Amino acid sequence: MSIARSALLAASRSVWLREQMARRSFARRAVKRFMPGEKVEDALEASAELARFGLGAILTQLGENLTSLGEADAVREHYLGVLDAIGTRGLPAEVSVKPTQLGLDLSAEACLANIDVLAARANAAGSTLWIDMEDSSYVDRTLELYRKLRAKHQRLGVCLQAYLRRTPADLAVLLPLKPAIRLVKGAYAERPEVAFPAKADVDAAYHKLGVDLLTAAAKGGAFVVFGTHDLVLLGRLTTKAAELGVKDGAYEIHMLYGIRAAEQRTLARDGRKVRCLISYGSAWFAWYMRRLAERPANVWFVVRSLLPG
């Protein structure tokens, strides 16, 4: 792991820095590169704009660990409102939730019930609900939630992180469920015995997992989403999809709002099914630092964007 990436991930856990950044107008201007605004209305409007270019969206409210089940109930009601707004506006958008937002740290049963309600509402609207993956300490509990709900809700997806050494075994356990999997590289600070520290190893793991998922998808045994901005990897995997007979619309590519926007539109014009992950909310600091850590060169881009002229 590079020194810059390590420093940014360490900074993401700093309470002092989070409080300082939240009060700085320049920080909010910098964050605008990666999110259209803090309110859900900002995310919905951005979704409508993306739809003009043939792009779908995934909406997620920032914020992770909660302190009461009442807060989790409020998050559930918020997302029910988001799903209703998506339907009312006719947007090609879906929702992704973090289990800790819905009470996982406080009660696995309450979290399961909350996701169950949201998945039912999404499925009734013909939409997929995505369960996001947090750091490695949550993998077992998150996958248990998914396994319990998958049979009940066919349009329910979960995220797997290629940099975790355990992920091939996790995928093998999930494949009999004919899962919907969003494959990402991973953005949390993890110990080297837990996650591959070298980019080359992460890329190799991602490609192998992607091929395994496409092989299953070719037989109707999985729905695969490639959540990456790595155009080289995407090129190799889309070529493999064609070789296996997996049609363009039978898998998706997910990228973040504000990153490779032109490439997202090009992929959509070329017939790929592309969705843009739009985050919103006031709890943006840790998420923002992890975004910078994914590609530390983005720091210079942000600095330049803040300079006059």
Q: What is the pLDDT of residue 206?
A: 98
Confidence of residue 292 (pLDDT cuts 50, 70, 90): low
Q: Taking the CB of residue 86, how many other CB atoms lie within 10 A of it? A: 21
Asked if 225 and 46 count as a contact pair (C-beta separation under 8 A), the reply is no
Q: Is the dihedral of CA 261, 266, 269, 270 positive or negative?
A: negative
Which is more confident, 187 or 50?
50
240-259 pLDDT per residue, tens: 999 999 987 889 999 999 88
Asked if 267 and 275 count as a contact pair (C-beta separation under 8 A), the reply is no
Confidence of residue 96 (pLDDT cuts 50, 70, 90): very high
β-bridge partners, 129:
95, 156
Residue 302 in this model has a pLDDT that exceeds 60: no
Which is more confident, 25 or 198?
198
β-bridge partners, 180:
157, 223
Asked if 144 and 120 count as a contact pair (C-beta separation under 8 A), the reply is no
User: What percentage of residues in the chain have a pLDDT greater than 70?
Assistant: 80
Q: What is the pLDDT of residue 37?
A: 85
Q: Are strands 156-161 and 129-131 parallel, antiparallel or unpaired?
A: parallel
The answer regarding whether domain 70-83+96-260 maps to CATH 3.30.450.20 reads no
Which H, E and C letters describe the chain, residue by residue?
CCHHHHHHHHHCCCHHHHHHHHCCHHHHHHHCCCCCCCCHHHHHHHHHHHHCCCCEEEEEECCCCCCCHHHHHHHHHHHHHHHHHHHHHCCCEEEEECHHHHCCCCCHHHHHHHHHHHHHHHHHCCCCEEECCCCHHHHHHHHHHHHHHHCCCCCEEEEEECCECCHHHHHHHHHHHCCEEEEECCCCCCCCCCECCCHHHHHHHHHHHHHHHHHHHHCCCCEEEEECCCHHHHHHHHHHHHHHCCCHHHEEEEEECCCCHHHHHHHHHCCCEEEEEEEECCCCHHHHHHHHHHCCCHHHHHHHHHCCC
Q: What is the pLDDT of residue 304?
A: 45
Catalytic residues: 132, 182
Asked if 143 and 164 count as a contact pair (C-beta separation under 8 A), the reply is no
User: What percentage of residues in the chain have a pLDDT greater than 90?
Assistant: 72
Residue 128 in this model has a pLDDT that exceeds 50: yes
8-42 pLDDT per residue, tens: 455 455 554 554 455 555 455 556 677 888 899 99
Q: What is the pLDDT of residue 188?
A: 86
Q: How far is CA 137 from CA 140, 164, 225, 287, in A?
A: 7, 11, 23, 17
Query: What region, left, alpha or beta, does residue 37 occupy, with left being phi > 0 and alpha being psi -120 to 50 degrees?
Result: left
The structure's pTM equals: 0.85
Which is more confident, 203 or 17?
203
Residue 288 in this model has a pLDDT that exceeds 90: no
Q: What is the pLDDT of residue 305?
A: 43
Q: CATH 3.20.20.220 residue ranges in the chain?
A: 70-83+96-260
Mean pLDDT check: name the lowest of 66-70, 128-132, 135-139, 251-255. 66-70
Q: What is the pLDDT of residue 281?
A: 83
133-167 pLDDT per residue, tens: 999 999 999 999 999 999 899 999 999 999 999 99
Once rounded to an integer, what is the mean pLDDT over residues 224-229?
A: 97
Closest CA relative to residue 180, chosen from 201, 150, 202, 207: 150
Amino acid in the structure at residue 124: A
How high does pLDDT run on average in the chain?
87
Residue 308 in this model has a pLDDT that exceeds 70: no
Once rounded to an integer, what is the mean pLDDT over residues 251-279?
A: 94
Once rounded to an integer, what is the mean pLDDT over residues 83-88?
A: 96
Q: How far is CA 96 from CA 93, 191, 266, in A?
A: 10, 26, 24
